[in-house]
């Protein structure tokens, strides 16, 4: 069970794409506003409130959509994963295995 039903998945995807479109529209509007200021030779005093609100609302929509699509959250505590493993497997880290090291050369010098 992935925790995603059809209704929450589709609403999440819609909110995610809608939020991305709102943020893109806010970016386009801010570029258009800067062009307007440059052509009218007015000083830049920041973005208008409506463009800033668009950006914040689009970001929140995208965050909501991502959390709805992502599925169930995992437990943060490390004990939930450690309790499932045996004691022998806790110290077994295959990524640290390294067989092409200087030990072979040192062994041949010392014992030959």
Average pLDDT taken over every residue of the chain: 82
The pTM for the full model equals 0.58
Give helix 6-40 / helix 49-69 axis angle, nearest 10°. Answer: 160
d(CA 4, CA 88): 35
In the predicted structure, residue 87 carries a pLDDT above the cut 80? no
| Backbone φ, ψ for residue 93 (5° rounding) | -125, 95
d(CA 108, CA 105): 5
- What is the tens place of the pLDDT at every residue in 38-79? 999 999 998 999 999 999 999 999 999 988 887 777 777 767
d(CA 58, CA 25): 9
Q: CB atoms < 10 A from the CB of 45, how many?
A: 7
Model confidence at 81, pLDDT cuts 50, 70, 90, reads low
Q: What does R_g of the chain's alpha carbons equal in angstroms?
A: 28
Q: Are 55 and 5 contacting, i.e. CB atoms less than 8 angstroms apart? A: no
């Amino acid at each position: 069970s992935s925790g995603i039903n059809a209704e929450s998945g589709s609403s999440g995807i819609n909110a995610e794409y809608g939020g991305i479109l709102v943020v893109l529209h806010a970016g386009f509007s801010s570029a258009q506003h800067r062009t307007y200021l440059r052509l009218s030779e007015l000083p830049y005093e920041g973005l208008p409130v409506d463009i800033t609100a668009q950006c914040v609302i689009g970001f929140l929509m995208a965050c909501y959509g991502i959390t709805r699509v992502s599925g169930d959250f995992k437990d943060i505590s490390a004990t939930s994963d450690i309790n499932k493993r045996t004691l022998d497997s806790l110290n077994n880290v295959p990524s640290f295995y390294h067989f092409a090291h200087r030990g072979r050369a040192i062994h041949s010098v010392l014992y030959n």
